[in-house]
Amino acid sequence: MPFHVMIIPTLGCPSNCSYCWSSAEGSPIMSIEIIKETVEWLKKFRNDPVTFTFHGGEPLLAGPDFYREALPLLSEGLRHMKLAFAIQTNLWKLTPELAQILAEYDIPIGSSLDGPQELNDLQRGTGYYEKTMHGYEIAREHGLNVRFICTFTSYSVRFKEDIFRFFLENGLTLKLHPALPSLRDKNPKKWALDPEEYGGLLIYLLDKYLENLHEIEIMNINDLCRCLFSGRGTICTFVDCMGDTFAVGPDGSIYPCYRFVGMPEYVMGNVYSHPSRENLADSDAWKVMHQFKEYVNQQCGGCTHIRYCRGGCPYNAIVHNNGELKGVDPYCAAYKKIFDEIVERFNRELFGSSYIEIAASPSEHMKYAKPGIMSLMQKLASN
Ligand code: SF4
Ligand code: SF4
Predicted confidence at residue 381, as pLDDT, reads 92
For residue 302, how far is its CA from the centre of ligand 2 (angstroms)?
Answer: 9
Instruction: Tell me if 91 CB under 6 Å of ligand 1.
Output: no
Q: Is the CB of 257 under 6 A from ligand 1?
A: yes
- Rounded to the nearest integer, the mean pLDDT of the chain is 92
Alpha-carbon distance of 180 to 189, in angstroms, equals 8
Strands 269-270 and 253-255: antiparallel
Ligand 2: atom nearest CA of 332 is 2
The predicted structure's pLDDT at residue 183: 61
| Residue 26, pLDDT score | 78
Residues 99-152: tens digit of each pLDDT: 999 999 999 999 999 999 999 999 999 999 999 999 999 999 999 999 999 999
- Rounding to the nearest 10 degrees, give the CA dihedral for residues 97, 101, 103, 108: -110
Query: What is the Å distance from ligand 2's center to 362 Cα?
Result: 33
Distance of alpha carbon 53 from alpha carbon 85, whole angstroms: 6
Whether 70 is in the pocket of ligand 1, judged by its Cβ within 6 Å, is: no
- Measure 87 CA to ligand 2 centroid, in angstroms: 30
Question: Which one has a higher pLDDT value, 206 or 323?
Answer: 206
The strand pair at 83-88 and 3-7 is best described as: unpaired
Counting residues of the chain whose pLDDT is more than 70, the rounded percentage is 93
Residue 18: which pLDDT band, with cuts at 50, 70 and 90?
A: confident
- Of the listed ligands, the closest to the CA of 339 is 2
- Per-residue pLDDT averaged across 49-64, rounded? 96
How is 239-272 classified by DSSP, letter by letter?
S--TTTEEEE-TTSEEESSGGGTT-GGG--EEGG
pLDDT in the model for residue 353? 55
Q: Is residue 235 lining ligand 1, measured as CB closer than 6 Å? A: no
| Interval 213-266: pLDDT, tens | 999 999 999 999 999 999 999 999 999 999 999 999 999 999 999 999 999 999
